[in-house]
Chains A and B, each alone.
Chain A
Amino acid sequence: MALPVYASTGQRVWHYAFRVICGLIFFYLIAPILVIIPLSFNAQDFFTFTPEMLHLDPAGYSLKHYHDFFNNIDWQLPLWNSLKIAPMATLIAVALGTLAAVGLSQSHVPFKGAIMAILISPMIVPLIISAAGMYFFYSRIGLQGTYWGVVLAHAALGIPFVIITVTATLVGFDKSLTRAASSLGAGPLRTFWKVQMPLILPGVVSGALFAFITSFDEVVVVLFMGAAGQKTLPWQMFTGLREQISPTILAAAVVLIAVSIFMLAALEMIRRRNERLRGLTPA
């Protein structure tokens, strides 16, 4: 957005002020995350930059926190728990959320608004309330403190994200394509897998990403629902901060950031691929 030659003084001032404001906002959002990265290579067991680090002395840096993270059973167990819980919760959330979104996009479904509101509610109700409610309910049916209890609770939290993203892609979905498939002899199942699914895939994938991150970062519900055997990474970080103040948490944080960036990049690539498909779609 170049400044036009006829811009007035006020417009010039605003043009540059706008850039400064944007820069400040980005700094505010990103700085806390970026600071953690060099700190995680600290050779000392402190949460501060040591004088050696500030002088860029190699002796001030080490991989010892990463070593601890990947070898200490206190961190490995939660990491594996998280990696076992999040994908399963994602799978359930994506399957149910996609079906719900496809169903709710049909014109003949009654009480659409109400059904949608109920399915979305876990996103809106304060987490602590959902967690407390689930705790009492799951205790009654014997799921509290089990792997499946945590998975189902996380799936419930992830479903709203899947419904929202899939519903958004369904809005742009041309209904005559399903009619065309049907006129060519394809039954409803084949039509769904071969025609509808490939075209709404980007919505499904971004919904899956949100559901995964929701489960992977979640600490409140798992504190209620999980037993020691289901201790996840965020849970360990939470207790690590409160009880041990171990800098290993910084290494864990950097690993999580790397995972998040990787997933966002993957999502962006899928989105671009789809836009290429859609950009060439007849109007």
Chain B
Amino acid sequence: MVQAQRDSAFVQFERVQKSYDGQTLVVKDLNLTVPKGEFLTMLGPSGSGKTTTLMMLAGFETATHGQIRLNGRNINDVPPHKRGIGMVFQNYALFPHMSVAENLAFPLDVRSLGKAEKEQKVKRALDMVQMGQFANRRPGQLSGGQQQRIALARALVFEPELVLMDEPLGALDKQLREHMQFEIKHIADSLGITVVYVTHDQTEALTMSDRVAVFNDGVIQQLAPPDELYEAPMNSFVARFIGENNTMTGVVTALDGSRCVVRLDSGDEIDAKPVNVAKVGERTKVSIRPERVETNKARLRPGAHTLTARVEEFIYMGDMFRTRLSVAGNSNFIMKTRNAPDQVRLEPGAEIEIGWLPEDCRALDAA
């Protein structure tokens, strides 16, 4: 089992720690295994340790403790220029004094490739990012999106098996960013390369990744595929960080395997799914997605608990309606409903009954 895991591990962090000042750990006891060909995203707020982890993999920071392995080989003592890892930087880091073609030829010159082979590879890489006609431009003559493509082509032109990306789309506008997300994903899939991607944008992480590692406080909070991360957050940090969430605090009053009853601080009782609560009497924070709040009693199970809610605000968002409710003392409870023909537009001040399927409401740690 352990042997099999070793074999499928392309990138492996084993008990890695990092401290800059010798006192506080920026990365605490990191264990992470990335199989070959995976698109792994490290997501987290700034200062969560995700960029430090990436920099340790690239070789620009050294691990204070632990081992980093690439393809089974310990790379702790290998300098960055001998790791053969492609990297796309946040500010692109194109060489301003070289043309686009010279930028792309740089890693090939280092590897002493012949002229014909070099030109062919540069051309192929430029065509891949649809920048073939810009070979003779300087980076400064290109727009941000074009520079981003060149940076991507430069990181791929020497055919590395592993490519690291440090918030590469951070400086682009929304539309271009969304377009590039798909393009990067498609290129990575078609080349079969392993990608470790760092971002603080959760939509980006969910759209692009095979798996997402959510970082906070130097620790991976949850490592899971996007759907699992969104629908089954394992703790209240992940629930808060990924997507929109309504949270309410209370005490577990009944616990029965996959279901529990939580008495909220307001005294109301609700149904929930116990995720990391262990016993009756424990304090918990329940989390429910705005789009899983149900107003139609016919869709709830018989005997389900419901809550009375007062409509505070109704916002028309085109494809969705967003309703702000006052529920059990929380005046910031959001409900999202699809703009369907049978959907009522609620008036502020109206009183409604809301409920949910117990598995959509997750009872998490009280932190």
Contact = CB atoms under 8 A, between A and B. Distances in A.
Contact of B80 (A174, A183, A194, A280): A183
Interface stretch (A26-34, A63-71, A185-193, A251-259): A185-193
B96 A278 contact: yes
A176 B141 contact: no
Interface string B65-81: 00000000000000111
A278 B95 CA distance: 11
Contact of A282 (B60, B91, B97): B91
B96 A281 contact: yes
Contacts of B93: 174, 176-177, 179-180
Interface string B86-123: 11011111111100000000110011000000000000
Q: Which bucket holds chain A's interface residue count?
A: 20 to 34
Given A174-B93, A176-B89, A195-B95, A183 B58 contact: yes
B140 A187 contact: no
Contacts of A280: 96, 138-141
B110 A190 contact: yes
Given A179-B60, A282-B139, A185 B96 contact: no
Contacts of A279: 140
Contacts of B85: 183
Contacts of B290: none
Contacts of A194: 106
A278 B138 CA distance: 11
Given A184-B154, A185-B110, A280-B96, A179 B80 contact: yes
B235 to A, nearest CB: 34
Interface in A156-198: 174, 176-177, 179-188, 190-191, 194-195, 198
A282 B140 contact: yes
A48 B187 CA distance: 80
B86 A186 contact: no
A174 to B, nearest CB: 7
A198 B95 CA distance: 10
Contact of A183 (B87, B96, B139, B141): B87
Interface string B149-164: 0000011001000001
B144 interface: yes
A73 interface: no
Interface string A258-280: 00000000000000000001111
B52 interface: no
Interface in B22-70: 58-60
A184 B106 CA distance: 7
Contact of B86 (A176, A181, A183, A195): A183
Contact of A176 (B79, B91, B158, B164): B91
A190 to B, nearest CB: 7
A54 to B, nearest CB: 54
B236 to A, nearest CB: 36
A174 B158 contact: no
B132 interface: no
B225 interface: no
Contact of B97 (A182, A186, A187, A199): A199
B147 interface: yes
Contacts of A183: 58, 80-81, 85-87, 155, 164
B345 to A, nearest CB: 45
Interface in B318-332: none
A282 B147 contact: yes
Contacts of A282: 91-92, 94, 96, 139-140, 144, 147
Given A183-B87, A184-B106, A194-B106, A177 B147 contact: no
A107 B87 CA distance: 23
Contact of A187 (B58, B81, B154, B158): B81
Given A176-B91, A277-B96, A281-B96, A182 B140 contact: no
A63 to B, nearest CB: 45
B156 to A, nearest CB: 11
A186 B89 contact: no
Contact of B140 (A176, A191, A199, A281): A281
Given A176-B91, A182-B80, A186-B81, A277 B111 contact: no
Contact of A185 (B60, B147, B158): B158
A277 B84 CA distance: 29
B319 to A, nearest CB: 36
A190 B141 CA distance: 26
Interface of A: 174, 176-177, 179-188, 190-191, 194-195, 198-199, 277-282
Which 7 A-B pairs have CB atoms at the shortest separation, nearest pair first? A280-B140, A184-B107, A180-B93, A183-B87, A185-B110, A176-B93, A281-B96
Given A182-B59, A182-B81, A184-B158, 19 more contacts: A176-B89, A179-B80, A179-B87, A180-B95, A181-B81, A182-B79, A182-B80, A184-B106, A184-B110, A184-B154, A185-B82, A185-B84, A186-B106, A195-B95, A277-B96, A277-B140, A281-B96, A282-B96, A282-B144
6 contacts: A177-B95, A183-B164, A280-B96, A280-B138, A281-B139, A282-B94
